[in-house]
Amino acid sequence: MGKSLTRKILESHMADGRWESGAEIGIKIDQTLTQDATGTMTYLQFEAMEIESIKTELSVSYVDHNTIQVGFENADDHKYLQTVAARYGIIYSRPGNGICHQVHLERFGRPGKTLLGSDSHTPTGGGIGMIAIGAGGLDVAVAIGGGLFYTICPKVYNIYLTGKLNNWVSAKDVVLKMLEIFTVKGNVGVVLEYTGPGVATLSVPERAAITNMGAEMGVTCSIFPSDDVTKRFLKAQGREGQWIELAPDEDAEYDKVVPIELDKIEPLAAAPHSPGNIKTIQELKGLKVDQVEIGSCTNSSYKDMVTVARILKGRTVYPDLSLGIAPGSRQVLQMMARSGRLADLINAGARIMESACGFCIGNSQSPSSKAVSLRTSNRNFEGRSGTKDAQIYLVSPEVAAAAVITGEITDPRELGIPYPAVETPSGFLIDDSMFLGDGKPDTSVQIFRGPNIGDPPKNAPLPEQIAGEITIKVGDKITTDHIMPAGARLKYRSNIPKYAEFVFENVDATFSSRCMKNKEKGKHNIIVAGFSYGQGSSREHAALCPMYLGIKAVIAQSFERIHAANLINFGIIPLTFAREEDYEKISQGDNIGINNIVDQLRGKEIVLENKTKNLNIVLVCELSERQMGILLAGGLLNYAVK
């Protein structure tokens, strides 16, 4: 049997392990990206490794998350990021240059390369034929220093596309259909590879929107072939020489084949409060809308923005509705301005925001109380918008624009206006002046550190036994936003003692203080959770801050990939229940113990003694020898610099 494109690229980069589904492999990383919410800690950890310069082909530091500067903290982090980039040979993308995934696709993404990013939506790069994977910042720091990235050798699913999207149906509807099929859990260790005749009908920005939201399904990454469509996009970006043709073998072997008929897809939405809560627009139409936000790394390309501008040209935003527009990059914004499309949006009454993550991470444009907000972003977790009782719906730009006109959820096919078909430009505006650096280190640069920037805390080696209490018990689908609030709290991302005060803030405001009291008494803290623990962002602070609070283990029904890796990286043991029903046998506040933890981990089955209830519970922990070494050392930073 032939090979999938995924296997071809991974095998060409594999430096440790073998191609065997479920086995651990180590791959060489060609490119890395960071953003400012995760990048500061990434580079602090990189500095701690005492490596003189980057070892990748390209590393880029973007500033796109915390661009609102109220107080000194964010500005100080940006100055740190600029100086540390200059010192080590990292390209620095200045604030205002755009959202990392959109900009990287435009200017740096290359077919056949591997990309590791400290953001869960790094798989956007799969739209251009890359193996692009999101990871915790510490994993990215190791890759920048030339270390391998370790992951599970994936199962590869063939998403076989046929037909062509109908008017008013977009790539966003394709990925929402995928979420309806795959849901948001149970897809760990899977790569989605898109093939079939329908692939050629999708532009690179459309493909990127689809690969971007593979993150919501929990897959490792998603990938499209590199074909003539890819070549035209790279040529339009002035990078035709970087194109290579890449495709799976005709007789490629896949673990599963999932056929998707593009012409059968209709406009869809993800209803509150999960990207997997899929409804048809026909089911939802007529619901009053208070706010519309168009942008984010999912839907902020030139195609998306021009489509919205053409729909709204000569029309006015509905009186009871607020519209925000965030182009994904400075390139998109400049082209919109020069073509007059930006004026069309302004004339319609849109509020033009920075080319940044803003509303998507709850850092601006929070809706009013109990508001219904339609957004073209990728996550609608409860409270993520900054308003806990807001009702967030994820929709396509076309559905969003229709609501702007009518004031309610409307099927855009029923607007009664011509469909504004938008082709990819034959030439994009090329202006790289907002990138700083030439990829070469400058040892004369003095790295700036403000008072909010501290050294990354290190964990102690794994103790011989765990003895403490179940400090919190939570349910299914706990996201990294539940664990580590984003929005305004992100300004403390470089100050772990301060940021740790807000762990589980919106779930149990007493959690952090209770952990610290236990830690002072020498007691360990343990978290118990249901299925799919650690969904969402790759933000390693959701493991780093709990580590600082003395969390030694998380016991869950199941984990999401990036978060499980982050827990191990910071010396926290990810344990699962051998029997699902045992979840009910542990309560918050129970005193527990695990003796001879190292020996038990090597045996893969661990016996937890619930002293409060006087019973034993069998737990499971599947670790590679490398992961065992990381846990024994107390975390990856200890392990890497030993």
Regarding whether 287 and 199 lie in a shared domain, the answer is no
Point out the domain boundary residue: 412, 436, 455: 412
**Are 272 and 241 found together in one domain?**
no
Q: In whole angstroms, how far apart are CA 344 and each of 104, 331, 338, 374, 416?
A: 27, 18, 12, 20, 20
Do 89 and 194 share a structural domain?
yes
Closest among 187, 151, 207 to 26, alpha carbons compared? 151
Given CA atoms 275, 276, 277, 279 in this order, what sign does their dihedral have? positive
Total number of residues shown for the chain: 642
Per-residue model confidence (pLDDT) at position 409 = 98
Which residues of the chain fall below pLDDT 70?
642
**Whole-number pLDDT of residue 642:** 66
Answer whether residue 430 is part of any domain.
no
Instruction: State the amino acid at position 464 in one-letter form.
Output: E
CA distances from 530 to 251, 285, 583 (A): 40, 34, 8
Q: Let me know if residue 417 belongs to a domain.
A: no
pLDDT at 273: 93
- Within a domain: 592: yes
Residue 444 included in any domain: no
Looking at the DSSP bridge assignments, the partners of residue 114 are: 131
Q: Which of 369, 384, 412 is the last residue of a domain?
A: 412
Regarding whether 531 and 388 lie in a shared domain, the answer is no
Q: How far is residue 77's CA from residue 596's CA, in Å, rounded to a whole number?
A: 42
The residues with which 375 forms a beta bridge, in sequence order, are 293, 394
Do 189 and 284 sit in the same domain of this protein? no
pLDDT digit string (tens) for 525-559? 999 999 999 988 888 999 999 999 999 999 999 99
pLDDT at 362: 77
Residues 251 and 296 in one domain: no
466 CA to centre of own chain: 32
Measured between its terminal Cα atoms, the distance across the chain in Å is 43
**Within-domain flag for 155:** yes
| Distance, CA of 92 to CA of 82 (rounded, Å) | 6
Answer yes or no: is 87 within a domain. yes
Task: State the alpha helices, DSSP H only, in 253-375.
Answer: 281-284, 302-312, 330-339, 341-348
Residue 41: how many other CB atoms lie within 10 Å: 27
Shared-domain flag, residues 370 and 222 = no
Tokens of 70: 């109220």
Q: Are residues 33 and 130 in the same domain?
A: yes
| Residue ending a domain, choose from 216, 244, 264 | 264
> Cα(524)–Cα(518) distance, rounded to whole angstroms?
7
Closest CA to 215 of 391, 113, 17, 360: 360
CATH number at residue 545: 3.20.19.10
Is 196 inside any structural domain?
Answer: yes
pLDDT tens readout for residues 312-343: 999 999 999 999 999 999 999 999 999 999 99
Q: Based on the fold, state whether residues 403 and 552 are members of the same structural domain.
A: no
What's the domain count of the chain? 3
In a domain, residue 617? The reply is yes
Domain that holds residue 23: 5-264
Residues 89 and 57 occupy one common structural domain: yes
- CATH number, domain at 406? 3.30.499.10
Q: What was the pLDDT predicted at 455?
A: 85
Instruction: Return the structure tokens found at 260.
Output: 């998707």
Q: By the 8 A CB rule, do 115 and 9 touch?
A: no
Q: 551 and 500 share a domain?
A: yes
Judgement on whether residues 217 and 365 belong to the same structural domain of the protein: no
